[in-house]
Chains A and B, each alone.
Chain A
Amino acid sequence: MPDKQSQTNQKIAQLFKDYADYLYNFAISRVSDTHVAEDMVQETFISALKSYDSFEAKSKESTWLTAILKNKIIDHYRKKVKQYLHDSIDRLSASDDFFDDKGSWYKDQRPSKWDFDTDKSIEQQEFYQILQECLTRLNEIHRIAFVMKHMDDVNTDEICKELNVTASNYWVIMHRAKLQLRKCMETNWTKI
């Protein structure tokens, strides 16, 4: 009869098979580096293995695993945020390359109409793929702010605190993130 430890190992291995892609996807949208994302998934399961005894079947397994991963992502963010000198945020986040000194769109930055049928599922699928790709191309601080707001539904005060930025800096960051993301989508999607 298999001992308890090997039963747990088997269980965790099965959970890995079931949820590895989901968790990887969750991580890659938030950290943008495939190696970091893979490491995080691995660490998540190692933590899960250690704490499996304390996991009570009260919550869903996927919820439990996602919660472990989320903590790892937050730790990662904190390390990244520390690396940024905050006086450089203004420079990083200026929208000067989108608008001229009068505040009008530069000609080559102007949005063009998207020929995008949101009802077609094949187009949807591609849209999601490109969106994820474009997210990974954002500068770290922009991506973190954007993801916290739009994927994790964190409120503005909390994001400012986590990123250690002022509210006015936050708007500058979010503005730039949106401008870049839209531009990236347009370049990679509508012109295929």
Chain B
Amino acid sequence: MKKGLMITCKDATQLVVKKNHEVLNMWDRMRLLMHLSMCRFCSLFEKQNKIIDEHTAKLDEISPAHMTRDSKEKILHELEK
């Protein structure tokens, strides 16, 4: 990552991801804020990244996928042997 105050989109998105995990140091926070205030693509990335994270956390609860009836019957048959 570059040393100066101005960072690239690649670095900014990396910091966005890092920010979900841990508190960034002051310098990185400042550089990220600066970049986001100027770059609408990275701002969108940040916003959408947040939406994805929030929904992922609820994925088990929502259970959008289903096992096919055939597979269920097959397993049930195995279990009842």
Chain A positions near chain B (C-beta within 8 angstroms): 9, 12-13, 16-17, 20-22, 24-26, 28-29, 38, 41-42, 45-46, 49, 95, 98-99, 102-105, 110-114, 116, 118, 124-125, 127-129, 131-132, 135, 146, 149-151, 156, 171, 174-175, 178-179, 181-182, 185-186
Contacts and interface: CB of A to CB of B under 8 A. Distances in A.
A114 B55 CA distance: 15
Nearest to A174: B17
Contacts of A128: 55, 58-59, 62, 64
Overall SS of chain B's interface: helix
B38 interface: no
Given A13-B80, A131-B59, A150-B57, A111 B8 contact: no
B23 interface: no
Interface string B7-34: 1111101101110011000000000000
B37 interface: no
